[in-house]
Chains A and B, each alone.
Chain A
Amino acid sequence: MSENNFVSPQAVKRLKKRRGVEFRFRLWGQAAVGFALAALVWLLVSIVGTGHSAFSQHFMTLDFELSETTLDPTGARDAEKLRGANYRRIVQQTLYAQFPEVTERKAKQEVFALVSASGATNQLRQMVYQDPSLIGQTVRVTVPTSDQVDQLFKGYIKRETAEDRRKVSDRQIAWADTLKERGVIRKKFNKILFTNPDSRDPELAGIASAILGSVMILVVAFVLAFPIGVGSAIYLDEFAPKNKFTDFIELNINNLAAVPSIVFGLLGLAVFLNFMGMPRSIPLVGGMVLALRVFPTITIATRSALQSVSPSIVDGALSLGASHTQAVFKQKLPLAGPGILTGSIIGMAQALGETAPLLMIGMVAFVTEVPTSIAEPATALPVQIFLWSDSAERAWAERTSAAIIVLLVVLITMNGFAIWLRNRLEKRR
């Protein structure tokens, strides 16, 4: 028997070994796919797990007596004086009234710490400022609790931890429970997260200014990047002569798409801020930097969309007497439209997630006002996430994750819309 015989014991053994290798190779492939999917699931579960609870928050509904003696002893109703009046005193009195048995100074402070001090006073101040006739009346207002009470009821501050190791004292827990039994403290949808700008207090911090800043940046980036991206793609694909310079432009665009985003931040810092003297942390500069960042993506997408249009379309137009420019703009471009749109949306999604270039042009400023124009300091959603992630407190981690959930939902919607658009328009063709 020779060794080449396919039924010899050696051959059978060899075959078995080869099949084993085959099986293991396939298993490696499955394991790799499984690893990537597991990583994705872990990422999403971890973010949603910490973030979902930030969409609700605990609020106190209390009857505040806006006594004239405290707020406006002179009775002049002077707007400036009303702004600076002692609303804190009113909040304190209202809370103390809930627990008449508490008289000790230290304990009173602890009672007051149950409510979000600046949240409640600001809210009352706004109300009185807008309607001074409220003075002397008793108003029912819902104000946020302090973040500690919120975290306690959400179960993140554990009751069984030793008292000196948590930020809420046993007394405070008892009071908070009483207030909850009385129906004063209730859990509600956390509107603050979406309507407020950034704040030092987690219970008052929101992403309104960050969202608006991101929208402004994206609008600026789109207005600049879309014409540049589409225009250079049309030129390179349709009109450019095939020479060294065209190749150079092409290489430039392909390389720019792969240059680290932080380098664009350095460019923006050196050119827009230092050389041109534009102000720091405004959405206009952010949009300009991100436009440079994403226009290569749009160019590459547009070129592949243009290349996928059948040449017979252009030939047909030319044979009917259209000029080259007419054929490209009136026949080819509309057919490439879905591809161009998809590429642009994906580019914009990329711009929405960019953080590092915005850090470079100073968008890390602490902005407590909602910006009203593209030339005012603002922050962007990913930068807000970055800023919040720096704080170690649990309440911040929760809000950071919630902001991430918002960002991811927007991104997935954008990408999903791009894919839906492509499928729909392709079918119609």
Chain B
Amino acid sequence: MNQITVYMLMLICALVVAGFVYNRSQALTKFRQMRAEAGGKLELSSWHSQASYHGYFTGWLVIFVTFTVFIAGLLLGAQSGGGVIPWVAVMIIAGVGTIFLCGKKISGGFRARTYVERFVHGLLIVLSIIAVLTTLGIILSLLFESLRFFKSVPFMDFLFGFQWSPQTALRADQVGQSGSFGAIPVFAGTFLIMLVAMAIAGPIGLMIAIYLTEYASAGVRKWVKPAIEILAGVPTVVYGFFALLTFAPFVRGFAESFGFSVPTQSALAAGVVMGVMIIPFVSSLSSDVINAVPQTLRDGAFALGATESETMKQVVFTAALPGIIGAFMLAISRAIGETMIVYMAAGKAANLTANPFEAVTTVTVQIVALLTGDSDFDSPKTLVAFALGLVLFVITLLLNVVALTVVRRYRAKY
């Protein structure tokens, strides 16, 4: 079946190309013929469209016709059971017929270009609507599955419950087999790791942005900027492995040298590594905003005798503040949604704690942990992952929309 599909698509392509080439040459022949009849004095402008547009027009129509046949074959072919051959025949007849009908249409007055441009236009609209459809798909699928979850677990118990142990539902007859789905410890863990990450990425990213835009020489900037951007290009699973293999044991050893006993998986290890990952994100967004602050403001401050750091702190920073807040919000949204680092380094047990040296869990970790095991799709244990996903999506959506609006409005101001 699969191979047949591929052959059918190849047949469609062949028909389209043949239609294009044939009718383009038809149009050229017709034009030359008419010119010869007019004694070589035919005005170019008496033909509305170039020959290739007649070809494109044919190609588009052939695509529509053959695809209709193709889809009809996919839908009906399985029921009629007559095999593939009749459908191939129908497709070839329809395609070749279209080519000849279009060929008949070719004349100086036929506005092939207008039609082709309308096709292209329609196609572009369809392509850009895919973005809306994707968002819609996300919202609908998350809502649909979450609602099924909220049928068995009340919404308020989920959002404000303090007990998170969905893993208990191993056997139907087990005590407490329903599991408990109070997500507060999960949210708290997410928030704690986000705080640790932002405590690293916020100040360091901002200082890098300030240093590179205001202090560094062009030579330094040329080398340091791409180097820092490498940090953004490293896949998160690599950071996760680094946290697991190198950084978490380092944190533990460091804490043990002060006499503390710390588990290998800790909010601190995951948070710091995540912070490093977000640094380039904060620094590049912030330097965009800082660069957008007009030079006249700086010159004014310098003229009043301010030093560079005073200008930065009191003038540029203040002016750039909304944009910087926007950048931080985007960074927070990224920290909340980050998955691999926390899955590998932060742990899966839900602890309600503010101590960064303890293992905590996050929304994304729970989604992965609940959905990667093989379990049936109707238990609350798997459906709760979609409820968590919905919360994640709503929060990041709010952060993104507010931040994007702030950043855009701010850029427009200067």
Contacts and interface: CB of A to CB of B under 8 A. Distances in A.
Interface of A: 18-19, 21-22, 25-26, 28-33, 35-37, 39-40, 42-43, 46-47, 50, 227-228, 231-232, 234-236, 239-240, 248-249, 251-256, 258-264, 266-267, 269-271, 274-275, 292, 295-296, 299, 323, 325, 329, 349, 352-356, 359-360, 362, 364, 373, 375, 382-383, 385-386, 389, 397, 400-401, 404, 407-408, 411-412, 415
A382 B339 contact: no
The 8 closest A-B pairs by CB, nearest first: A260-B337, A353-B235, A29-B211, A231-B127, A232-B128, A270-B141, A32-B207, A25-B309
Given A46-B246, A262-B368, A274-B377, A36 B276 contact: yes
A359 B371 CA distance: 9
A258 B396 contact: yes
Contacts of B224: 33, 37
Contact of B240 (A50, A227, A323, A389): A389
Contact of B204 (A32, A232, A262, A386): A32
A412 B128 CA distance: 31
A39 B276 contact: yes
Contacts of B128: 231-232, 235-236, 240, 249
B127 A235 contact: yes
A28 B310 contact: no
Given A249-B132, A270-B142, A386 B340 contact: yes
A260 B309 CA distance: 36
A279 to B, nearest CB: 12
Interface residues of B, number: 86
Interface string B203-235: 111011011100110000000100110110111
A119 to B, nearest CB: 26
B134 to A, nearest CB: 5
Contacts of B242: 43, 46-47
A232 to B, nearest CB: 3
Contact of A252 (B121, B132, B330, B334): B132
A1 B263 CA distance: 65
Nearest to A353: B235
Nearest to B50: A326
A227 B120 CA distance: 12
Contact of A255 (B307, B309, B392, B401): B401
Nearest to A292: B134
Interface in B252-308: 276, 279-280, 283, 307-308
Contacts of A26: 211, 215, 308-309
A398 to B, nearest CB: 11
A52 to B, nearest CB: 15
Interface in B357-414: 364, 367-368, 371-372, 377, 385-386, 389, 392-393, 396-397, 400-401, 404
Contact of B238 (A251, A256, A325, A408): A408
Interface string B330-350: 100110111110011000000
Contacts of B141: 266-267, 270-271, 275
Given A355-B236, A411-B235, 18 more contacts: A28-B207, A29-B210, A32-B211, A35-B204, A36-B208, A43-B242, A46-B246, A249-B131, A253-B131, A255-B401, A256-B134, A258-B330, A259-B397, A274-B377, A353-B234, A356-B368, A385-B241, A404-B241
B237 A239 contact: no
A360 B371 contact: yes
B344 A323 contact: no
B344 A252 contact: no
Contact of B307 (A21, A270, A415): A21
Nearest to A235: B124
A263 B308 CA distance: 44
A227 B239 CA distance: 32
A356 B127 CA distance: 26
A255 B135 contact: yes
Main secondary structure of the interface of B (DSSP, over half): helix
Given A40-B231, A355-B236, A267 B211 contact: no
Contacts of B145: 270
A349 B337 contact: no
B137 A355 contact: no
Q: Which of B216, B371, B372 has the most CB of A within 10 A?
A: B371
B244 interface: yes
A407 B364 contact: no
Given A18-B310, A262-B339, A262-B367, A415 B233 contact: yes
Contacts of B210: 29
B147 interface: no
Contacts of B313: 25
B123 interface: yes
B144 interface: yes
B307 A19 contact: yes
A400 B397 contact: no
B67 to A, nearest CB: 16
Contact of A271 (B137, B333, B371): B137
Contacts of B235: 352-355, 382, 407, 411
Given A252-B135, A349-B233, A386-B237, A227 B127 contact: yes
B307 A18 contact: yes
Nearest to B386: A266
Contacts of A256: 131, 134-135
Given A33-B211, A35-B204, A323 B113 contact: yes
B131 A373 contact: no
Contacts of A325: 117, 120-121
A32 B208 contact: yes
A356 B364 contact: yes
Given A28-B207, A239-B124, A232 B279 contact: no
Contacts of B207: 28-29, 31-33
A297 B371 CA distance: 27
Contacts of A40: 227-228, 230-231
B129 A249 contact: yes
Contact of B144 (A270, A385, A397): A270
A167 to B, nearest CB: 20
Contact of A397 (B137, B245, B336): B245
A306 to B, nearest CB: 13
Contacts of A22: 307-310
